[in-house]
Structure formats: structure tokens, C-alpha cells
Structure 1
Amino acid sequence: MSSDPWGRVDETGTVYVRTDGGEQVVGSWQAGTPEEALAYFERKYEGLVVEIDLLEKRVKTTDLSAKDAQAAIDHLRVQVSEHHAVGDLAALGRRLDALVATVDQRREERKVQRAKQHDEARKAKEELVAEAEELARSDQWRSAGERLRALVDTWKGLPRLDRKSDDELWHRFSHARSAFSKRRKAHFASLDAQREEARKAKEALVAEAESLSHSTDWGATAARYRELMADWKAAGRAQREAEDGLWNRFRGAQDVFFAARGEAFAERDAEQTENLKLKEELAAEAEQLVPVTDLKAARAAFRGINERWEAIGHVPRDARAKVEGRMHTVERALQESEETEWRRTNPEARARAAGLTGQLQAAVDKLRDQIDTARAAGNNARADKLTRELEGRQALLDQALKGLQEFGG
């Protein structure tokens, strides 16, 4: 018979293991010595120790699921409880019990962690839904569309919730995206319609602009081009592929017209510059008639100058007032000379002037006599009053006499 602290082999070859509940039969050994029998079952015990060591390490250092860990514990517990090894089986049992506690703790920790992850995922998805619903009302079509696509990618990266909650949040999220897409589609459909209307309007403007490009009615056509440009701006933009082509045609038609007008104006300016030179020479010739010494000859000379003036044509607008003003000055001088001559030679005017002068002279003489009489009578107040009246009549008489002198009187 052979034994050690944890087992023994009796004379029949039966192997026993010592446990807290007494000896338990491990098995029968007939192939060798009792020592070999104990060594064999001790190695089986060591094998169990190794397996439990590995399981403890996996539980502590890997993400072994609680289910798989419990299955491994149960498997080892069966081997320990069936007493097929010689060693401290109670110690192995305690280690397995400790593993069960560890696995249970891990299970609770993971349960708490899953609950936390679930809450975080719910919160994250609710935030995604809220942002998507806000974006659904946006008119920033490009940026909002890009953001919604990014939200979808974020959603896919989040863990699923319970089916009901996940479906409800996804329904809101999907509805927001659909609402945005529907509004964007309607917006661009309306925009396309507006651009088509703009294209038609601009084609009509181009047609008119091209029809005017060879006009020589410079003022009216230039004004119409300005109106067409205002209409072009008010029409809005056409489709991009049509806008540039229409604009090039529209601008090209204007360029043809304004280039022709520029050439015509250049020729006109050259002609008007020469006209100005000729009119300045005529104005200088007319100015030689002033002061007027022979009215008849001066008037005849001015008519001749004026006939040549009218035959010359237009001068530059900015010089017109000055050169015409010189002629008008000479013309006014001739008119004043005519008026002076007419007053001097008009018999009726001379008679009226002489009559007025006589009346004023008589009134002055009468006032002087009245003043002398008043002073002789000592009535100085009346004399002073009459003197002031005399001053006024004397001034009128002086003017009348000057006018009468103009008639040679």
C-alpha cells in the first residue's frame, strides 16, 4: 500500500483521494506500482490546476464572455467533483467558487456598462434626431445636405438600442431627412423654372439687342440699350450653360453699336473742332463792329457774318455757350445802338419828352415862387416842406432834360 497527504492506494490497487467529506475513490490501478498510480492521478490534479490557472488568467485579462467563462467553470467543477485526481480538490473548488464570484462581478459590471452604453447611445441618437429635424427646416441646401449625410454615418457607428426605441428614433431621423430632401427638390425645381423663364426673357433681349446693333440713331438706340441692360439684370440668371452664351451675344451686339457710334462721334468731334475754329474767327470779326459808329454798315456786316456762321454747323457742346455768347454780345450792342438811334430820331418821343420837360420846369418855377412867399411870410415850416417837394421835382426835371438831350434838343 502506498499513500501521500492527499491520497493512497490499497492492496487491491484502488486509488483514494482525501476530501473534507472523507476518502473518495479515484479509480483503480493495476498496471504498475502504487507509487506510479498516485503519480498518475497527481498529474491529473496538476492538469486541473493548470486549466484553472489559465481560466483565471482569461477571466482577468481577456474579454471572455460570462457565458463562456461559466461553461468552463462548470466543466472543471465536474472534473473536480468526480474525484478523478489526487490533490487538494477542496482548494480547487474554492478557486472555482472565487472564479464564479469574479464572473458574476464581471457580469454585473458589463450589465452596468451595457446600460451606460445604451443610455449614451440613446442620448447620442436623440441629439442626432434633434439636429436632423432642425436641419430639415434649413435653406442652406448644400451645407445642410452634407451635414445630414455625415449624421447618417454617425448613426451607423452607434450601437443599436432596444428595437422599439431604435425604430422610433430612426423613424424621426429618416422623416427629417425626407422632409429636407422634399423641400430641396421643390426649391431647385422652382429655381429651374425661374431660370427657364429668365432664359426665354434674355433670348428676347438678345434678339432685340442684335437687331439694334447696326442702328445709326445714336441717342435713341443708346437709351434703349440702357433699358435693355436694366431688363437683363431684372430678369435673373438663366441656366449656367445658357447664361454665358446669351451674355456674350448681348454684350457683342452692344459692342458693335457702340464701336460704330464711337467712330461716328470721333468724325463728328473732328468736324466740330474745325467748325469751332471757324466760328471763333467769325466772332472775332463781329467783335470788330463794336463800338458801333455806323449803325447801318455794322448791321449789314453782322448779317453777312451771321449767314456764314449758320452755314458752318455745330461745334463741341462744351465750347458752344462761350463762342455763341461772343456773337450775342455783339448783337446786343447793335440792338442798343438801334434803340438809341430810334429814340433820338422819333418825333413823337421828342415831343413827349419836350412836353414833359416843360411841365416839370413850370412846376419847379412855381414851387420856387411858393417857397419865397412862405419865407417872406415867416412860414418856415411850409417853406421847408415845399423845399423837399422841390428837390423831388428838380430830380425829375434833370432826368427829363437828359432824355431830351438824347434827341439833340
Structure 2
Amino acid sequence: MSSDPWGRVDETGTVYVRTADGEKEVGSWQAGSPDEALAYYERKYEGLVVEIGLLERRVQTTDLAPKEALAAIEHLRTSVTEAHAVGDLAALGTRLDALVALVDTRREERRAQRAKQSEEARGAKEKLVAEAEELAESEQWRTAGERLRALVDTWKGLPRLDRKADDELWHRFSHARSVFSKRRKAHFASLDAQREEARRTKEKLVTEAQSLSDSTDWGPTAARYRELMTEWKAAGRAQREAEDDLWNRFRGAQDVFFAARGEVFAERDSEQRENLARKEELVVEAEKLLPVSDLKSARAAFRSINERWEAIGHVPRDARPRIEGRMHTVERALQESEEAEWRRTNPEVRARAAGLTGQLQAAVDKLRDQVDAARAAGNNAKADKLQSELDGRQALLDAALKGLGEFR
């Protein structure tokens, strides 16, 4: 018979493990010595120790879900209870109990963290709603619209709250966006008449462009397409929804023609690459016009650049959006400068500024006479009071004169 502190083998080869409740039979051994039997069942015990150690590290060092961790603990507890092994089984049970306590602690920590995250998400969404409601009354249509779209992206990135709270905040957020959208649509409704005219003109251009798309008369047709493009630009913009559709149809008709021509004249690729290089030079030349200091000269220079641009011809299709986008950026900047110049030289605004300046000058002259009269009469208190009022009116006059000077 052989034994160690945690088990023994009797004379029949039966192997026992010692527990707090007494000895428990875990197997039998007939193939070798009792020491070999104990060593075999001790190795099984060491296997359980390794498994528990691995689970402890997973719980301590990873984001193992509490439910999954507890299931693994119970699985190992069953393995320990039913183990055919020799060793301190009670110690393994104690380690598993400690692991359960750790999982419970982690679960509470996660619950508290989720509650904190939910509260932070609520605060963030309430701020988004407040800003959206403020923007709903803005008349900065482009800036406010872009900001509202950015707020939507931010909203999507935040965690959801409980359904009732999330729905209530989303309803206010969505309502604010709707209010802004309706106001913006009403503002631009006044532009519909001229845009409708542009739409009708462009519909005709689209019809002609589509009728030419199957032509194989390459030179004249390409020339006509360039003329159509000139007419298209001169027509102005239609309603935004219609503009995109018309442009896609107009450009699509041209693409059909030029794609067919490209297949026939594939050897002209080198010419198109040269065109791209020339247009890139023109773009660089155009971009040097910005910022605009002399609008008249800049516009004349841009017209010259644009004429040379139109005369160059097509570039490779994949480069077209990039190169045209850069030219459009310069053109938009010139248009904005023209609008600013028009506002600055508006006769009605200049007349109002001149009228205000005249009124202020008259008031300043009158006050100056009153100050002189009061000083002459020896009434310094009244003169000082009038002088204070005169200084204020003079400051207003100086500012008005400066503003009036901007119209010259």
C-alpha cells in the first residue's frame, strides 16, 4: 500500500483521495506500483490546476462576459467535484469561489460603467438637441444646414438610451431639422421662377444632346456639343433636384458619344493626356487669380483662361472631375467677389449711407454751435454735457464717412 498527504492506494489497487468529508474512491490501479498510481492521479489533479489557472487569467486580463465566465467556472466546478484525481480538491473549490466573487465584482463594475456611459450619452444628445433647436431658427442656410448634417453624424455615433428617452430626444432633434428644412425651402421658393426657365432651356439642350449621342460625324458633333455646353452654362441653374437629373442626362448623352468616339479613336489617348497637362497649366494660372484683388482684371483674365480651356478639348475621363472641380472653385470665387462688389456699389445702399451721413453732419454742426454758445454764456456744465453728446455723434459720423468711402 502507498499514500501521500492527499491520497493513498490500498492493497487491492483502489485509489483514494482525502477530503474534508473523508476518503473518496477515485479509481483503481492494477498495471504498476502504488506510487505510479498516485503519480497518475496527481497528474490529473495538476491538469485541473492548469485549467483553473487559465480561466483565472482570462477573467483577470480579458473582457470575458460574466455569463460566459460563470458557465466556465461551473463547468470546472463539476470537473473538480467529479474528479478522478489526487490532490487538494478543496483548495481548487476555494479558488473557484474566489473567481465567482471576482466575476460578480467585474459585473457590477461593468453595470456602473454602462450607467455612466448612458448618462454621458444622454447629456451629449441633449446638447445636440439644444443646438439643433437653435439652428432651426437660423438664416445661415448653408452653414446651418451643414452643421445639422454633422449633428446627425454625431448622433449616430452615440450609444442608444432606453427607448422612451431616446425616442423623445430624437423626436425633438428631428423636429428641429424639419423646421429648418421648411424655412429654407420657403426662402428659396422665390427663386423658382428663374430656375424653372433654366430648367425648360436645359430640357431642350438635353433633348438635342441625346439626339446627337449616336452620331458618328465626330468633328461637327463634338463641336456642337461644345456649343451646347456653352449654352448650358449660360442658361443658369435649375432647381437643385432637376439640375442634377438634367446634368446627368446631358452629360450622359455626351458620354455615350465621346465613349463611342474614344473606341474608334483610341490612338488619341496621347492627345487627351496632353490636353490634361495643358488644362492643369491653365488651372494653375487660374488659381493664381485668387484671392481676388482687382475684380475686373481677374474676370478678364479668367475669361481668357476659360476660352483657352474650352479650345483645348477633352481630357481623360477619370481626370475630368478633378481638373474641372478646380476650375469651378476659381469660378465660384470670382462670382462671390462680383456679388460682393455689387452689394458694395449698390446705388440704393449708397444713397441711404449718404443720407445718414448728411443727417449726422447736420447734428454735429448744430451741437458744435450749441457748445460754443454755452461756453460763451459761461454755462460750462451745459457745455460739457453737450460736448459729450457731440463726441458721440462725431464718432458715429466718422464711422459713417468711412463706410461711405467704401462706395467710391
Q: TM-score, normalised by structure 2?
A: 0.47
Q: TM-score, normalised by structure 1?
A: 0.47
Larger radius of gyration between Structure 1 and Structure 2: 1
